[in-house]
Amino acid sequence: MINIQNISIRIGSSSLLEDAKLFIAKGQKAGLIGPNGTGKTTLFRAILGEQDFTGAIDMPKDVRLVSVAQHINDLDKSPLAHVLESDKERTELLKRLENPDISPEEMGDIYDRLLAIDAYSAEARAATILQGLGFDTEMQNQPLNNLSGGWQMRVALAAALFVPSDVLMLDEPTNHLDLEASLWLEDYLIRYAGTIILISHDRNFLNHVCNHIIHLSGKKLELYKGNYDTFQKTRALKLELLAKNAAKIEEKRKHLQSFVDRFKAKATKAKQAQSRIKMIAKLEEVALLPKDPETVFNFPEPADIAPPLLKIEKASAGYGDNVVLRNLNIMLNPMDKIAILGKNGNGKSTLAKVISEKLPLMSGYFYRSPKLEVAYFAQHLLDDAIDKTETPFDHVARRMRQLGKDPLRKNVLAHLARYGIVSCADTLCGNISGGQQSRLMIALICLSAPNLLIMDEPTNHLDIDGRDALIEALNVYEGTVILITHDFHLLEATADTLWLVDNHECKEFAGDLNDYRDFLLKGESDESLSKKSSSKDSKSGKKDKNTPLDKIINKLEKDLAELNQSRSALENKMMKGGNLLAMQKELETLEAEIAALETKLLDKMMEQEEAEQAS
């Protein structure tokens, strides 16, 4: 359907693609992945005819290619009106019907065509899409200029989903969505009948929506069959086979070269030496697949604090006279990893602001340990927190001075290195990527070595490697974490407690994330979610999570994460050379420790399960 032939793209002095080839067949749902800055969005623009390139991109002339508009021009219209008018054919047909001089024949043809394109159900279909993306009836009918930029982008996405299309091109469609809208969109795209090309760094989203993965790396495009997890396994196997093949060829090269070096000066062996020189020249060079740049996060170790860190009882919170949350009864303990769930507008961010003391209670009891250091990251605060005319070095140095720390250059660079942004330390923030800006903001808030880390949509500008690095760092981090995110994989990999904010209250959710997904996709009511949460004590049969056995398991999981992190660091070090023999022995020791710890962890988890069944 879309045939990309030997295309090359340059932006200024930078080459993004060189003689890249790709064929996307009809009906494929392909995720386009690669580190930030490699040219994924630029390739999108080339396919859409908005970017100059050399080579060719061929597709059927009548193909309906649809992408999300970056701007909405008429903000006086309502979201529903904008979505309906985005179907140009339907809009034009309805406009022609308004012509007082229209002939009966033309009117009949128009009605036939409106029937063929299902125009009469258009308003219901548009409203359903908007509702899935978080718009209630009131929001669907208010002027667009009443909505924030993020909500306007949801309207642009709704319009792209509503317009009839053969190929749907989506660039990070979940960035402006919450978890609930992301899960709805995921389900919608699974059922979409056309071809999809999707840029996303959301592993869970790619796994559920895509049946092919396009990997942009080393200025080339390579298509893999299967979802993201399948791609990861296939590529790892390919890397391993290429490395083994390269090692074999290098060993043969050394063997032949050894003969040449030894006998090339001897007349009796000259012919053999020349023969081996030709053999060396014919040995193929194995091109190893380019390795994507590594992303790191490394949160500082917080000071120990006796529990509880924070406690709120019989409290209410809101803005002015508007009560958003009531009957708040929550407690935070060291090393809690909590995910806050709830539909958009129910008060998740309000709760985060209350906990971080950015919003005072309207009533109730609030206790905070005097030693507690809180770091609060919110994606929507990024523009206010980062001065685009300064460098990351400037930001960190100033924050260090505020905290009474010595902003020596080596100290500033060392801190930036903990978050993988030392390479852009002296670049103006207006010229660095969104992912680098996000990591800079996290670096700034973590300078105080917080005991409590509150993160509201931390992954919006992070690529997959960056998200994996964040997961690894959060699991090793010895502080308490509260997460609000649409990244299902991040929640699955880090959270051990789920809070549901619903019907103006916050309660622990009795099920797991898959239960929550099922509730949302089945269209369960808010009331049923509340009942499931409130029935936790009477129906779940689960005991307090902080049992001695739970603490042992948490400690084992933390130790295992640290060992895995050490193994990854050692493997990366081995890729760069050095004393490989010594490093190989160290690796074998690490792997033995990991295997022993995994066995111990499994035993404890089985012991825990038996105890729960017995109770």
Final residue before a domain boundary, out of 282, 297, 318? 282
On whether residue 297 sits in a domain, the answer given is no
In 47-185, which ranges are E strands? 54-58, 65-67, 167-171
Pair (360, 502) in one structural domain: yes
Pair (473, 389) in one structural domain: yes
How many domains does the chain divide into? 4
On whether residue 294 sits in a domain, the answer given is no
On whether residue 300 sits in a domain, the answer given is no
Q: pLDDT at position 606, please?
A: 73
On whether residue 298 sits in a domain, the answer given is no
Q: pLDDT at position 176, please?
A: 84
Q: Do 465 and 366 touch, CB atoms closer than 8 A?
A: no
The DSSP annotation for 569-600 comes to: HHHHHHHT-S-HHHHHHHHHHHHHHHHHHHHH
CB atoms within 10 A of CB 408: 11
Pair (435, 528) in one structural domain: yes
Gyration radius from the chain CA atoms: 29
On whether residue 361 sits in a domain, the answer given is yes
On whether residue 288 sits in a domain, the answer given is no
Contacts of 267 (CB under 8 A, 6+ apart): none
Cα 437 from Cα 8, distance rounded (Å): 29
Q: pLDDT at position 191, please?
A: 93
DSSP 299: P
Q: Summarize pLDDT for 492-504 with one digit per residue, the tens.
A: 889 989 999 988 9
Pair (206, 261) in one structural domain: no
Final residue before a domain boundary, out of 231, 249, 272? 231
CATH of the domain at 57: 3.40.50.300
Domain hosting 276: range is: 237-282
Pair (426, 509) in one structural domain: yes
Q: pLDDT at position 234, please?
A: 84
Q: Do 378 and 349 touch, CB atoms closer than 8 A?
A: yes
Q: pLDDT at position 286, please?
A: 46
Alpha helices per DSSP H over 310-391: 348-355, 382-385
Cα 169 from Cα 64, distance rounded (Å): 11
Pair (44, 92) in one structural domain: yes
On whether residue 354 sits in a domain, the answer given is yes
Pair (323, 346) in one structural domain: yes
Q: pLDDT at position 343, please?
A: 82
Pair (263, 182) in one structural domain: no
Pair (203, 143) in one structural domain: yes
Cα 276 from Cα 292, distance rounded (Å): 36
Pair (74, 221) in one structural domain: yes
Q: Summarize pLDDT for 72-111 with one digit per residue, the tens.
A: 888 889 999 999 999 998 889 889 988 888 888 989 998 9
Cα 419 from Cα 412, distance rounded (Å): 12
Final residue before a domain boundary, out of 554, 575, 592? 554
Report residues of the chain scoring pLDDT below 50.
286-289, 291-293, 525-526, 535-544
Pair (463, 592) in one structural domain: no
Alpha helices per DSSP H over 148-269: 149-162, 179-191, 203-209, 228-263
Cα 507 from Cα 311, distance rounded (Å): 14
Pair (91, 60) in one structural domain: yes
